[in-house]
C-alpha cells in the first residue's frame, strides 16, 4: 500500500470515528476533513492532528478547539489560523 493510500485510509477511519462520536452535520464533516488535510502541512502524524483537532484549545481563537469552532460554523477561522502558521513557517525556511 502506498503512503498516500495509507494516509487516505487513516483519514477515512478518523472521519468515521469522529462521526460516531458526535452527531454532526454533513457540512461540518466536510469542514473537518478539509481542516485535517490542511493541518497535515503542519503535522504529519494523523493521530496527533486528530488529537489537536478535538483536544487542543486555540488561544487566539477564543480558547476553543478546532472541533468546537467547526461545530459553531467557524471552520473558516481555523483554516485561516492554519494558513498563518504555514505562511510563517515558509518565511522562516532557509533558502538553498
Instruction: Give the residue extent of every domain in the chain.
Output: 3-92
Instruction: Place 87 in a pLDDT band, splitting at 50, 70 and 90.
Output: confident
More confident call, 12 vs 36? 36
More confident call, 4 vs 28? 28
Report d(CA 73, CA 20) in Å as an integer. Answer: 19
Q: Where are the alpha helices (DSSP H) in 1-96?
A: 3-21, 26-39, 46-55, 66-71, 75-92
28 near 14, Cβ under 8 Å? Answer: no
**What rounded mean pLDDT belongs to the chain?**
80
pLDDT of 1 over the 50 cut: no
Mean of pLDDT values over 51-65: 95
Coil vs helix vs strand at 65: strand
Amino acid at each position: 500500500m502506498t503512503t498516500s493510500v495509507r494516509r487516505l485510509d487513516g483519514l477515512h477511519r478518523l472521519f468515521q470515528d469522529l462521526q460516531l462520536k458526535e452527531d454532526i452535520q454533513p457540512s461540518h464533516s466536510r469542514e473537518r476533513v478539509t481542516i485535517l488535510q490542511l493541518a497535515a502541512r503542519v503535522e504529519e502524524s494523523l493521530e496527533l492532528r486528530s488529537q489537536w483537532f478535538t483536544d487542543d484549545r486555540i488561544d487566539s481563537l477564543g480558547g476553543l478547539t478546532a472541533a468546537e469552532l467547526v461545530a459553531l460554523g467557524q471552520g473558516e477561522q481555523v483554516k485561516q489560523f492554519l494558513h498563518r502558521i504555514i505562511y510563517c513557517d515558509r518565511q522562516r525556511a532557509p533558502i538553498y
